[in-house]
Structure 1
Amino acid sequence: MTVSWIQHRFAGGALALDTANTVVLRGDPYRGFDRFEDRAEIARFAEAAGAFRAAELGGRRLEAREPERIAPVVLEIREATDRLFREAVLEGSFESNHLSDFLAACSKGTAGARGKIGGEKRPFGDPATPLAFEAALAVSALSLLGGDTMRRLRICANCRWLFVDRSRNSSRLWCDMAVCGNRRKASRHYHRRKDTREADRG
C-alpha cells in the first residue's frame, strides 16, 4: 500500500529519527509494521524528506534512484540508529558494541556520497547537487551524537517514536501534539467517562 508521506511522519526532528520511525509500533508483534517493506517507499520518503527536512539538509535534494539496491544500507543505518538512541533515552548510555555497529553502518552510508560533506555550515555539502539518500541519512544520524541533541532525545508517550524535544523547557511528551497529544488526551477522556459511568451504575 502506498504511504502518504505527510508532515506528521517527519515529527522526529531529524532525518535519521524520521527514518527510524518508519517502523510503526516497533516491538509489537501483532500491530507493528515497516513502512519500507515496499522498497519503493524509500524513494518516495526521500523525496518528501527533501521538502520536510529542507532546513536540516541545507536545501540539498536527496537522491534514491535505486531503492532495492540501497535498501540494505538504509535499513542497517535505520536499525542501528533506533537501537543506539532508544537505548540512550531509556538507560542514559550506550552499549559499546551498539555504538560500533552504528558507526559501521554510517560508514557504509557515506560511501555513497559524491563530493564534500561534513562542513560546519554545510554538513550535507553543496546544495547545488543531489546527495545520495543513504549518505544524508548517515550524516543526520552522526549529528545526533553532537551538541545538546542527546539530552533532548525523547520517546513519544503515545506512539513510541523517537524525537528531539526542542521546547524551551524540554518538557514535551509527544512527538506531535496535534496527533499523538490529542489521541492520548482523547483516550484519557474516554476512560474517565467510562469509569464515571461504571461508578454511577455501581
Structure 2
Amino acid sequence: MTFSWTPHRFSGGVLALDVANSVVLRADPERRIDRFADPAVMDAFAAGANRHGAERALFGPLEPVAPEARAGLVRLREAIDRHFRAEVATGTRPALLADLLEAAAATLRLSGERPQALDTATARSAVLLIARPEPERLKICPNCGWLFLDRSRNRSRAWCDMAVCGNRAKASRHYRRNRGEERP
C-alpha cells in the first residue's frame, strides 16, 4: 500500500502538531498506525510539509531527518503529543512541560548544525507553540483524535479538517437521524 502526505495530513496548523499527528488512531492500540515507522515515509514528510505545512514560510524548505536523528524525532513527537494532549485535557500547563523541553533541547543539540532539518524545525515549532498567547485555541478533533490549532476568528473550529473529519461527522449524524426516522 502506498502512502502520500496530503493536505489533510497537515491540518494541525503548526509543524509540531502535524508531526504529533503522524500517528493515526493513537488511542486505539489495535488499529494504531505510526507513519514514521517506515523511514521512507518519515523522509517524505519533509517534502509534504514543504508543500502543505502551515509554517513552511517560517522555517523555509525542510530537509529529511538524518538517519541517526530519527529516534530523536520520534521521542520529540511523543513528548509533543503527551504535553499538548494533557494541556487540552486539563486546561493548564501540565508537568509534562519539562519532558517536552528536554526532548526539544536534545533535538536542537544534535541537529543544530542543520537548521532546515525536519527535527530541528519541529523542536522550534514546539517551543513557539508553548509560547503562544492563546492556549485555548489548541484542540483535539472529536472524530480522529488529532491535535490542531484553531485559527478561526471566533474560535469555533470543531474538527481538524472540515473536508474530512467534519464531513464524516456530519454524514454520520445525518445517517443516524434518518435511520431513526425510518424505524416504525
- Shorter-chain TM-score: which interval? over 0.9
Aligned residue in 1 for 2:112 = 113
Are the equivalent residues in 2 in contact too, given 1:11–1:18 (CA < 8 A)?
Answer: yes
Aligned residue in 2 for 1:173 = 158
- How far the C-alpha of 1:2 sits from its partner, in A, is 3.3
Query: 2: CA distance between counterparts of 1:54 and 1:147?
Result: 15
Query: 2: CA distance between counterparts of 1:177 and 1:54?
Result: 16
- How far the C-alpha of 1:85 sits from its partner, in A, is 0.4
Unaligned runs of 5+ in 1: 116-129
**Which has the higher Rg, Structure 1 or Structure 2?**
1
Aligned residue in 1 for 2:125 = 140
SS in 2 for 1:174: coil
Letter in 2 for 1:148: P
SS in 2 for 1:163: strand
Query: 2: CA distance between counterparts of 1:54 and 1:180?
Result: 19
User: For the aligned residues, what is the CA RMSD?
Assistant: 1.7
Higher helix share: 2
Letter in 2 for 1:80: A
Query: 2: CA distance between counterparts of 1:85 and 1:65?
Result: 23
Per the normalisation by structure 2, the TM-score is 0.92
Identity of aligned residues (%): 47
Which aligned pairs between 1:40-59 and structure 2 lie closer than 5 A?
40-53=40-53, 55-58=55-58
Aligned residue in 1 for 2:73 = 74
Aligned pair in 2 of structure 1 residues 163, 46: CA closer, same or farther (>3 Å)?
A: same
Unaligned runs of 5+ in 2: none
- Alignment of 1:100 with 2:95, yes or no, is no
- How far the C-alpha of 1:197 sits from its partner, in A, is 2.0
Query: 2: CA distance between counterparts of 1:188 and 1:54?
Result: 30
Query: 2: CA distance between counterparts of 1:76 and 1:168?
Result: 33
Aligned pair in 2 of structure 1 residues 142, 105: CA closer, same or farther (>3 Å)?
A: same
- How far the C-alpha of 1:25 sits from its partner, in A, is 1.1
